[in-house]
Homo-oligomer: A and B are copies of this chain.
Amino acid sequence: MTVVNIMVGGPEDLIPYDQLNHYPGVWLGVDLGATRLLNHGIVPVVALGDFDSSTNAQFDAVVAQVADVRTCSPIKDETDTQLALTIALQEYNATQINLFGATGGRLDQLLANLYSVLRDPYRLALPKLRLIDTQNVVTWFEPGTYQVEQLPTMQYLAFVGITGVDNLTIQDAKYNLAPFSSAMPISWSSNEFVGQPVTFSFTTGIVMVIQSHD
């Protein structure tokens, strides 16, 4: 497994700093995310962004310590996070991508992050991406049948049709779901595990699975 971790610039209190050293693989630092990694003793292999949220001193420190710094224009169709996904896939052949610092603060940026993997070329990252903050782990699924196991410290389980979805079925959970179809997005929140893996399936659409705790 080739793990690439991406740190972006969301609010610091949602980043699980005490766990970062437990994640294998290389790091990419997006904008202020690069500074945060350096502040926590992690040197990213690439730092990228327009760095408009970094001070000059922060940017100079990034240039001094990171071998590969890529400054990109803020006027572009892809977000910095999407650019990082492309680097993870094309240059580092990631089989798993962990995204940190992508929640909290501006909701437009959170939604851009959640939607990033819905269209080409970032769609290739969809089955590989995990968004992680102090309370949530988010994964994305294309149609199929899957089993999901409870993560340590997580109490709640949610199935989110981020697009319309057909025949979403949930088994072996606290609240099961008979085949459900909807043209509209829906968040089936606050489900729970009951001591065994939960099985779910669907035939069209994209479903996010979110494990969380209060």
Binding site for B on A (CB under 8 A): 53, 74-75, 79, 103-109, 111-112, 114-115, 118-119, 135-136, 138, 156, 158, 160, 162-164, 175, 182-187, 189-190, 206, 210, 212-214
Contacts and interface: CB of A to CB of B under 8 A. Distances in A.
A214 B175 CA distance: 38
Q: How many copies does the complex hold?
A: 2
A112 B79 contact: no
Given A53-B214, A189-B79, A184 B108 contact: no
A76 to B, nearest CB: 10
Nearest to A113: B187
A160 B110 CA distance: 11
B184 A118 contact: yes
A186 B115 contact: yes
B135 A106 contact: yes
Contacts of A183: 163
Contacts of A187: 108-109, 111-112, 114-115
22 contacts: A104-B104, A105-B135, A105-B214, A106-B210, A106-B212, A107-B210, A108-B136, A108-B156, A108-B160, A108-B187, A108-B210, A109-B187, A111-B185, A112-B187, A115-B186, A118-B185, A119-B184, A119-B186, A162-B185, A163-B183, A163-B184, A185-B185
